[in-house]
Amino acid sequence: MALLLLVGGIGFFWAGVALRVARGRADTRWKLGLDAPVAEDLPTLVVVIPARDEARNIGACVAALRASDHPNLRIVVFDDGSTDGTADLARDAGATVVEGGGAELPPGWKGKPWALERARANLGEGDWLVFVDADVRVARGALSRLHTYAITGGVDLLSGFGRLEMASFWEYVVQPSVGGLILAGNDLAKMNDDANAEKAIANGQLILVRRSAYDAVGGHAAVKDDILDDIGMAKAFKAADFKVRCLMIRELFSCRMYTGFSELWHGWTKNLYPGMEFKTGVVVLVAVLVLVEFLSPYAITLYAALAGDTTLFAASLALLLLIHGVRAWMDRIFDQPLPYGLLQPLGATILLGLLFDSVRRTRAGTRTWKGRTY
C-alpha cells in the first residue's frame, strides 16, 4: 500500500510538470522570436566576445554576427591569453581584436569577469553592449530584435535562453536533465518581477546591457569573484533598480556548450553548486527529488515485476508511461531526438554525480576551467 501511495504521489508530481509546461507554452509574455518588430535607426551596438582558446568557435561566432541585419554593429573580441590562434582567427573573420595577454588572474577575480572588465576600456563609443560567448551562433535578425525590445521596453539588462545544440551521445543524455533542472528552478514570471529583488537571472551566453546602467553598477568588477557572473550581474542590476528581463529566445541564437563527457563534467561541476548559492541543503533536496521522482519509478516497477504484484506493477507501469510521455512532449518542444528520452534514468543518475562532485570540487578548491583552478 505504501508503494502504491508513493506511485500516486509521483504521478501527481509529473501531472504537475505537464501542467506547468502547458502554462509556459501558453504564456507568451517572456518569449521573443524572429517575428518581433524592429525599430528604425537603431543606435550603435557593441558586441563583446571574451575568448580564451576558442579556435574551434570564434570564426563561426564572428561570421554569424557579421551576417546580422543590425544596422550599427561593432564586434570586439577580447583575447584572454589564448595559445591556439584565437586572435588571428577572429581578425580573419572580421572582428576587432584586443589582446589581453596571459597574465595570472589578480586576487579575488574569476576569469570571465576579469576579461570583460579589461575589455571595458577598449570598446569605443556606443550606448549599448552585448556580451556574447564564443560558442554562440546568433540568427541574422536576433540582435536587432533584442535591441528593439530593450529600447522600447526600457530594459537595462536583457538576456535569455537560446536553442541548446547537441551532437554527441553524452550531450543528448546529460544536457536535457541539467537543463530541465535549471528551467524548473527559475520561473521566468518570478525572475522578471520588478518587485522581487531577490529573484533575477541572466544567461551569460548572451547579455545585452544599457552601457550607462552597466557603468553605474561598476561593470564586471561588481561580480569579479562570482563564478556565475551572469546571475550575479542580473542581481546587481536589479538591486540598483535597473530593469532586468530574461526571455525564451530559442529562435534568436543557439549554443553548443560542451562537446563530450569530459567537458560536460568539468563545466557543470564548476557551475551547479554555485548555482544553488553554495547551499548544501538545496543540493540534498534536489538529490532526493531526483531519486524519488526520476529514478524510484523504475525500481518500483522492477520490484513489482519480481514480486508478482500485478496491481503495483500496473500502476508503476502507467506512471512510467506518464513520465516518458511528458519527456517526449518536452523533447518535441525543444526539438530533441525522442529516443534519448528512454535514457532519462541514466541522465538523472549522472546529474546526481555532477551535483555531489560540484560540492566536493568547490569545497576542495579543485574546480577547473580553461586552464584555471577556482
**Paired strand residues for 59:** none
Q: Does residue 167 lie in a domain region?
A: no
- Cβ atoms of residues 93 and 66 within 8 Å: yes
Q: Mean of the pLDDT values across residues 134-140?
A: 98
Q: How far is CA 17 from the centre of its chain?
A: 20
- Cβ atoms of residues 309 and 300 within 8 Å: no
Determine how many CB atoms are found less than 10 A away from the CB of residue 108.
8
Give pLDDT, residue 317: 96
- Cβ atoms of residues 200 and 238 within 8 Å: yes
| Per-residue model confidence as pLDDT tens digits over 17-62 | 999 889 888 889 999 999 999 999 999 999 999 999 999 999 999 9
Q: Is the predicted pLDDT of residue 109 greater than 70, yes or no?
A: yes
Q: Is the predicted pLDDT of residue 350 greater than 70, yes or no?
A: yes
User: Which grid coordinates are listed for 4?
Assistant: 502504491
Task: Residue 92: give the domain boundaries.
Answer: 45-162+203-259
- The reply to whether 336 and 255 lie within a common domain is no
| Per-residue model confidence as pLDDT tens digits over 285-326 | 999 999 999 999 999 999 999 999 999 999 999 999 999 999
How many domains, the chain?
Answer: 2
Give pLDDT, residue 369: 67
Give pLDDT, residue 94: 96
Give pLDDT, residue 368: 72
Q: Does residue 181 lie in a domain region?
A: no
- The reply to whether 90 and 64 lie within a common domain is yes
CA angle, 147 then 150 then 155, to 5°: 155
Mean pLDDT, all residues of the chain: 94
Give pLDDT, residue 195: 87
| Per-residue model confidence as pLDDT tens digits over 220-266 | 999 999 999 999 999 999 999 999 999 999 999 999 999 999 999 99
Please state the length of the chain.
374
| Helix pair angle (310-333, 296-307), 10° resolution | 150
- The reply to whether 222 and 315 lie within a common domain is no
Q: Does residue 264 lie in a domain region?
A: no
| Per-residue model confidence as pLDDT tens digits over 52-95 | 999 999 999 999 999 999 999 999 999 999 999 999 999 999 99
Q: Mean of the pLDDT values across residues 99-128?
A: 89
Q: Mean of the pLDDT values across residues 171-181?
A: 94
**Buried-state track 38-48, b at ≥16 Cβ within 10 A, e below 16:** beeebebbbbb
Q: Does residue 352 lie in a domain region?
A: yes
Give pLDDT, residue 347: 97
- Cβ atoms of residues 10 and 315 within 8 Å: no
- The reply to whether 109 and 79 lie within a common domain is yes
- The reply to whether 145 and 230 lie within a common domain is yes
Q: Does residue 292 lie in a domain region?
A: yes
User: Domain end: 259, 286, 303, which one?
Assistant: 259
CATH code for the domain of 136 = 3.90.550.10
Q: Is the predicted pLDDT of residue 103 greater than 80, yes or no?
A: no
* pLDDT > 90: percent of the chain: 85
- The reply to whether 228 and 327 lie within a common domain is no
* pLDDT > 70: percent of the chain: 98
- The reply to whether 72 and 212 lie within a common domain is yes
Give pLDDT, residue 196: 86
Q: Give the whole-angstrom CA distance, residue 75 versus residue 97.
A: 9
- The reply to whether 223 and 81 lie within a common domain is yes
- The reply to whether 317 and 209 lie within a common domain is no
Q: Does residue 171 lie in a domain region?
A: no
Give pLDDT, residue 117: 93
Q: What are phi and psi of 226, to 5 degrees?
A: -100, 115
Q: Does residue 102 lie in a domain region?
A: yes
Give pLDDT, residue 197: 79
Q: Give the whole-angstrom CA distance, residue 124 versus residue 76.
A: 10
- The reply to whether 10 and 59 lie within a common domain is no
- The reply to whether 19 and 110 lie within a common domain is no
Give pLDDT, residue 289: 95
Q: Give the whole-angstrom CA distance, residue 361 versus residue 273.
A: 9
Closest CA to 201 of 225, 168, 233: 233
| Per-residue model confidence as pLDDT tens digits over 186-232 | 888 889 999 887 889 999 999 999 999 999 999 999 999 999 999 99
What pTM was computed for the model?
A: 0.94
CA angle, 327 then 329 then 332, to 5°: 110
